[in-house]
Structure 1
């Protein structure tokens, strides 16, 4: 029994220190800039690939291994300096939601670059000589490499504690984090200090990538799992606190080890449960850093917008013509492109549900694919196992289950958190759902549910067979038009205008007597229901549902569509879904270029045109038709004002934490 306990603690320490090696850089950059960098996993992956290029598969010596790790760290640190100059410094006073999405786009760029340079094959690296033999203390067999990882993690923690609290570098970082403007007045080179700190953060990411190479297979998805666990460790320990990240990593390691022993049928699930408990009852973490808070009460106002010059009647005529053209596609389009168009219609509904949260209410969900999956799996099971089930009833049941799940999450979470904490909670719950599905034989495990039959639609005495692609496409088009019309009516009603007021300034809205918590919960519930309906429509169209529909990367799809089209307009997600599909379809055969093009495009939108394609069109429309600009007058279909302006690089207060 004693040996089993020792072995469990050893595994917990090894797993926890592997997480800490990645979480350290993430914590360092947040402590300075209050910037939660989702691209940290991408740069961790680049560090691993660079180290692999130096050392090869079979490392000849421990010295070569350490040299390759150092090269990977230095290369990533230099990339961090370039990234700071081009991207990060422009995000320091932007809405935190946009920062999360921009750094996610940066991660896509890292993935695309990695595929272009190294390809998509899997590689493996053996531990170097001296670390590839087992050790046998106390009658137990331990991996020498894992002991090495534990030692490096503890050493890194000690060095960071001393550097931050005892050395000039740490004093400089703390001063910049507290007040960059005053630091500049006192003669500190703010730009140099921030660049140095950012390079240190990226250096840690690159070193971690090389050090953990023998711990797993090297692939273009390497950074995803480590990024998630690093996020969780930082959240549990407290954003921006090195000591908290260290303890949070150990907590996750211990939870994972106990999960393996006590609940081996669902490995990894306990981590998401523990994270959800921390977020709900202690969202500030164990050691919250100075200046962090669970709620952000920033005003999102500002930005002079203009009313559309063309009349509403003209736009209605154009929209009607567009729907008629879409209705003719099955008559002359081949099956492949028709499937893409049908998927875009589903993505429009999915993106509209997400934009109701972000664009109208100021909430962000990084796990929205969980609601989509509820509808998809429920519909797949009903159509596969219940003969003659009414399809409209299945869609209604999907909406109900999605609404109930959203209500359960929102009732517990929305009163306690928003911003990044809510985003991390939603992605944690979605990942927990993905794990449950992957180990459920009833839900098809990794293979999913296949051969989903298309339904028969019964409308009273009329019966429509939707078995063919053409028939189901027309049903999809009609459903998308009806749902879009319903969402437009709802969000342009008093309910939608109240949501916009809450997004602009929730404190003022509460002062005026608006039940802010009730409206936010209602928006969350409706959004979850609509996302589940999108999943219900998807299952018969694709005829297969897998756990990829629940992956946290799938939750990025609606936000990409929304930002590409523009959150400042109800129609932004509609245009964004079409543009994104066109870009993806055009680059589908270009390995690596698809992620690179989409990531760079999304970054350009965040940095240069935060109102998206619709915002760009409105500017062109005003210039072409000479429409007047009216400061403070929102457009007729405006969902929200654009994010705060991006400060110029030359401004002194481009520094650290607010």
Structure 2
């Protein structure tokens, strides 16, 4: 028994130090710039591939192994400097939600570049000589390489602790992080100090990639798992705190080790449970950093010009009607492949609209929205597979209720305690926990999912409509999407929607004016979860297969990308974004690596140059094309006693179509 406990603690230390090697750079850049860099996993992966290119599969010596890892760190440090100049410095004073999304896009760029340079094959690297043999102290067998990882983590922690808290350089960096303006007044070179610190944090990511290369197979998904655990360690320990990241990594390592021993049926589940408990009980972490990550909430791109001449609404109504009619004719003149893509876009429109209820209208962000989507998809798959003749409208209603109940439970526990990054991390943790449960559930098909889902039969009073063919179900999808979109448009343009926008712009002022902010946020969360579950319900019979990939945290990014591409400043932004994103993905589907690269670069361009998205760009063009006549001042009325209009005062109120 004692040997088993000792072995469990050894595994916990090895896993925890592996997490800390990645988390060190993540927390360092946050402590300096208040940027939570989701692209850290991508640069970790580039560091690993660089080290592999230097040393190959069979390392000749320990010195060569260390040299290759250092080369990975140096390459990533240079890339970090370029990234800081082009991207990060533009994100230092924007909404933290946009920072998360922009760095997620940067991670897609890293994945695309990796596929283009190194391909998509899997590689494995053996530990260097001297670390490839087990050690046998106390009658137990320990991996020499794992002991090396533990030692490497301890050495990096000690060096960072000394550099940050004991040396003059670290104190200067702390001064830059606390007040860059005052540091500049006192004569410090702020730009050079920030660039040096950014390079250090990126170098740590690349170095970790090289050192952990023999730990698992090298692939283009290498950074995802390490990023998630590093992200969780930083949240548990406290954003921007090296000691917190170190302790948080050890906590996760211990939890993972105990999970393997006590609950081997669902490995990894305990990590998400512990993270959720930490976020609910102590969202600021064990060692809270100075300042708030959610402070200075900027509504980048949430507003519009007060004076915005626009195309008459009846023109848009006519164009929208024409588009719906055109989509209704697709089954008669396009093939099965393009029709499936368009049907999937319709489902993604509903999914993106559900996410935009939170972000665009309420100011909340969810990185685990795919969990609600999966609830509706799996419920529908089970109902259609195992209950003969079940009414599909009843299934849709059940999916909406189950999604709303799950959202209510999460909202009641979380919304009063957290928002911003902490809420985003909690939602992704819960979604990943759901993914693990599904992946180990025989009833839900484990990793293979549920296949051969039958298309339903629709009961409308005395009329039964068979939706078994793709054409029939596509027309049903189109009609349902139009109805849901219309219902959401009415809801979000009602008093309820206007109140949500008021809360998004200034929750403190809204609460002061008597608005029950918590109740409105909870209502928005529940509605959003219900609509996302309905989107999943529509998806299951359309694709005829539901797998755990629908719950993956990358799937939660899909509505986010669609919304940002179209524009969060408009109700129709997610609709436009879903269409544009599908067109880009379909056009680049055969280009290995280029798809992620094009989409990632496009999202970065939108965040940095046009945060209002495609709709915002159109409105700017619309104002130029239709605004000349409105900018021409009308001749004054004879003997008018009206006061002159102040510069910039709007001629008329600009509404959102």
Higher RCO (C-alpha under 8 Å, 6+ residues apart): 1
Structure 1 residues 303, 165: closer, same or farther in 2, change over 3 A?
farther
In the other structure, the counterpart of 2:539 is 538
In the other structure, the counterpart of 2:627 is 626
Match status 1:554 vs 2:573: no
In the other structure, the counterpart of 1:648 is none
In the other structure, the counterpart of 1:636 is 655
Per-residue CA distance 1:371-392 (angstroms, 9 max, x = gap): 0000000000000000000000
State the alpha-carbon separation in 2 of the partners of residues 225 and 559 from structure 1: 21
Q: Tell me if structure 2 keeps the 8 A contact 1:51–1:72.
A: yes
Residue 307 (structure 1) shift:
3.5
Matches within 5 A, 1:279-294: 279-292=279-292
Q: TM-score, normalised by structure 2?
A: 0.96
In the other structure, the counterpart of 2:195 is 195
Structure 1 residues 631, 581: closer, same or farther in 2, change over 3 A?
farther
State the alpha-carbon separation in 2 of the partners of residues 289 and 565 from structure 1: 35
Structure 1 residues 538, 141: closer, same or farther in 2, change over 3 A?
same
In the other structure, the counterpart of 1:588 is 589
In the other structure, the counterpart of 2:400 is 399
In the other structure, the counterpart of 2:644 is none
SS at match of 1:463: strand
How large is the RMSD of aligned CA atoms in angstroms?
1.3
Residue 292 (structure 1) shift:
2.7
Residue 308 (structure 1) shift:
5.0
In the other structure, the counterpart of 2:369 is 368
In the other structure, the counterpart of 1:528 is 529
State the alpha-carbon separation in 1 of the partners of residues 195 and 306 from structure 2: 35
State the alpha-carbon separation in 2 of the partners of residues 71 and 634 from structure 1: 58
Per-residue CA distance 1:338-378 (angstroms, 9 max, x = gap): 00000000000000000010000000000000000000000
Match status 1:611 vs 2:612: yes
Matches within 5 A, 1:139-288: 139-288=139-288
State the alpha-carbon separation in 2 of the partners of residues 302 and 551 from structure 1: 32
Per-residue CA distance 1:480-501 (angstroms, 9 max, x = gap): 0000000000000000000000
State the alpha-carbon separation in 1 of the partners of residues 137 and 306 from structure 2: 70
Q: Tell me if structure 2 keeps the 8 A contact 1:90–1:607.
A: yes
Residue 626 (structure 1) shift:
2.1
Residue 625 (structure 1) shift:
1.8
Q: Tell me if structure 2 keeps the 8 A contact 1:233–1:248.
A: yes
In the other structure, the counterpart of 1:47 is 47
State the alpha-carbon separation in 1 of the partners of residues 53 and 29 from structure 2: 27
Per-residue CA distance 1:233-265 (angstroms, 9 max, x = gap): 000000000000000000000000000010000
SS at match of 1:626: helix
State the alpha-carbon separation in 1 of the partners of residues 448 and 656 from structure 2: 42
Task: Identify which range, 161-170 or 5-14, moves more after superposition.
Answer: 161-170
Please identify the structure whose Cα radius of gyration is greater. 2
SS at match of 1:457: strand
State the alpha-carbon separation in 2 of the partners of residues 311 and 320 from structure 1: 15
Residue 27 (structure 1) shift:
0.4
SS at match of 2:329: helix
Q: After the TM superposition, which parts of structure 1 deviate over 3 Å for at least 4 consecutive aligned residues?
A: 293-303, 305-308, 627-635
Per-residue CA distance 1:101-143 (angstroms, 9 max, x = gap): 0000000000000000000000000000000000000100000
Per-residue CA distance 1:552-608 (angstroms, 9 max, x = gap): 000000010000000000000000000000000000000000000000000000000
In the other structure, the counterpart of 2:76 is 76
State the alpha-carbon separation in 1 of the partners of residues 463 and 74 from structure 2: 69
State the alpha-carbon separation in 2 of the partners of residues 596 and 143 from structure 1: 38
State the alpha-carbon separation in 2 of the partners of residues 575 and 286 from structure 1: 42
State the alpha-carbon separation in 1 of the partners of residues 187 and 570 from structure 2: 44
Structure 1 residues 308, 431: closer, same or farther in 2, change over 3 A?
farther
Q: Tell me if structure 1 keeps the 8 A contact 2:108–2:597.
A: yes
Match status 1:114 vs 2:114: yes
In the other structure, the counterpart of 2:20 is 20
Q: Tell me if structure 2 keeps the 8 A contact 1:561–1:580.
A: yes
Residue 621 (structure 1) shift:
1.0
State the alpha-carbon separation in 2 of the partners of residues 308 and 323 from structure 1: 26
- Number of residues of Structure 1 aligned to a counterpart in Structure 2: 638
State the alpha-carbon separation in 2 of the partners of residues 137 and 230 from structure 1: 30
In the other structure, the counterpart of 1:569 is 570
Per-residue CA distance 1:174-231 (angstroms, 9 max, x = gap): 0011100000011111100000000000000000000000000000000000000000
Q: TM-score, normalised by structure 1?
A: 0.96
Q: Tell me if structure 1 keeps the 8 A contact 2:95–2:297.
A: no
Q: Tell me if structure 2 keeps the 8 A contact 1:295–1:417.
A: no
Q: Tell me if structure 1 keeps the 8 A contact 2:309–2:626.
A: no
In the other structure, the counterpart of 1:378 is 379
Q: Tell me if structure 2 keeps the 8 A contact 1:380–1:545.
A: yes
State the alpha-carbon separation in 1 of the partners of residues 656 and 540 from structure 2: 31
Q: Tell me if structure 2 keeps the 8 A contact 1:456–1:466.
A: yes
SS at match of 2:459: strand
In the other structure, the counterpart of 2:601 is 600
Residue 615 (structure 1) shift:
0.5
In the other structure, the counterpart of 1:656 is none
State the alpha-carbon separation in 2 of the partners of residues 527 and 52 from structure 1: 44
Structure 1 residues 396, 295: closer, same or farther in 2, change over 3 A?
farther
